[in-house]
Structure formats: structure tokens, C-alpha cells
Amino acid sequence: MEDNLLLKTDSYKVSHWKQYPSNTTFVYSYLESRGGSYESTVFFGLQYILKKHLVGKVVTREKLDEAATFWKEHLKQDLVNYEMWEYIIEHHNGHLPIIIKAVPEGSVVPLHNVLMTIENTDPKCFSLAGYLETLLLQIWYPITIASNSREIKKILLKSLKKTGDPNLIPFQLHDFGFRGVSSYETSAIGAASHLTSFMGSDTISGSVLARNYYNSRQIAAYSIPATEHSTIVSWGKDNECKAYEHVLGKYL
């Protein structure tokens, strides 16, 4: 079974459709940064989430059946909104009747401002906005990485203007974070977010994400041949100079 959108939410979300007033037809929700270490945030990552999870025919009979079976066992009662999901399958061909609006990706937005909104376009699907909140809030991670990278870039640029060449700034913070995160997807999202401020990265997954989800026409990041402990110590304690001579001879 492929990824199932109906299972990409929090457990309690499944029951919320019963809790709204009976005459509810539309729900409008928004996302903002309510505080943080910096005065502003860099908005990034929404396009990936949309293309990865929400675009196209994401609701099918098979996925509804799978989700219903899971929720019955998990919640010990049948709380699935069959009417809404079946309506989406039959009347929207499995596409989500929602509108998501956002500031342009890469925008630097002061705190306490709206970054993104979501609303349903069909009154019979009013609970969708809340149901998708869990998934959409995954955007905290790319926003955080992009914002951190921007603040670090400001510090580095200030020093470069005093002591060096500001034109070197794109390569002053090199990403080697692949091995330090929890999954391949995390590495790709984090590395792509880093590239909103820098161009140096050994985390290939970020460039792949930029190409596949942001239509990057050129490579998003660059790197160079480099040594590691194993390639140098393999020469033995007394041959360190030979090791470096060998490496230089291979690439120069």
C-alpha cells in the first residue's frame, strides 16, 4: 500500500468533524511564527509538502478502507467521516477541495505575521483544514533551518566585510549534516533549506530535492574532492606526507 494521506494526521483529528457546530460549512486557518530567537523567519518548504503529499488524486477507496480499518482498531470505535471522504472520491476524483495561500518562498517575514492560510472550497469538506494541520506544520523544520542559515550568514558577512572578501559568502557555511539527522527525508529538507542562503553542501539530497520539487534548472549546491580519516590513515603513520602528495597528484 502506498502512502496514505488519511493516516498523515494526529489521532484526535479524526474525531473533530463531529465537534463543530452542525451548520459549519467553511473553516479558515492560518499559520504564523508566534515567537523565536530572531525578529523574522525565512518562509521555505511549503512547495515540497504540497507536491509530496497533497497534489493530485490523494484520496482513493483503497486508502479510505485502509484508514478506516486502522482507526477502528486504534480508537476502539468507528469515527471516520465516511461521508466526506467518499464525497471527495466521487465528486472531486480524490483531489482535495482546498485553497492554500502563502507568502512567496524565501520571503523574510517579521514575527507575528501570517505565513500561510488554508480553507476548504466545498462546504461538505469543512473539516479538511484542521485534518491537514498536522502535515502542514511539518514546515517548521525547513523554516527553522532557513532562518538559522540566514542569521549565520549575516554574522559571517559582517566579518568578511571587515577582514576578507564578501564575495566568498556563498561558501562560508558548508553543509555536512546528512549523517547527523534522523532520516534521508530530513537530510533533504534541511539541506535544501540551507541552500536558501548558501551554495556549499555535501548533502546531495538537498540538491536532489531542489531539482525535483523546485524545478531548479541548475545544480543548487557545489562541493569538491576531499579526504577523510580512512583515506589518510590507510597510508600508515610514517607516510602522511606521501598520502597528501598522492591526493594532490590525483586532483591537481
Residue 65 CB partners (closer than 8 Å, separation 6+): none
Please tell me the pTM assigned to this model: 0.93
Q: Residues of CATH 3.20.140.10 domain(s) within the chain?
A: 5-140
> pLDDT for 154-198, tens place per residue?
999 999 999 999 999 999 999 999 999 999 999 999 999 999 999
> pLDDT for 83-128, tens place per residue?
999 999 999 999 999 999 999 999 999 999 999 999 999 999 999 9
Q: Write the CATH number of the domain with boundaries 143-251.
A: 3.20.20.70
Q: Residues of CATH 3.20.20.70 domain(s) within the chain?
A: 143-251
Distance from C-alpha of 133 to C-alpha of 47, rounded to nearest angstrom: 15
CATH topology of domain 5-140: nicotinate phosphoribosyltransferase (3.20.140)
The one-letter code for the residue type at 62 is E
Distance from C-alpha of 172 to C-alpha of 153, rounded to nearest angstrom: 8
Q: What is the pLDDT of residue 17?
A: 96
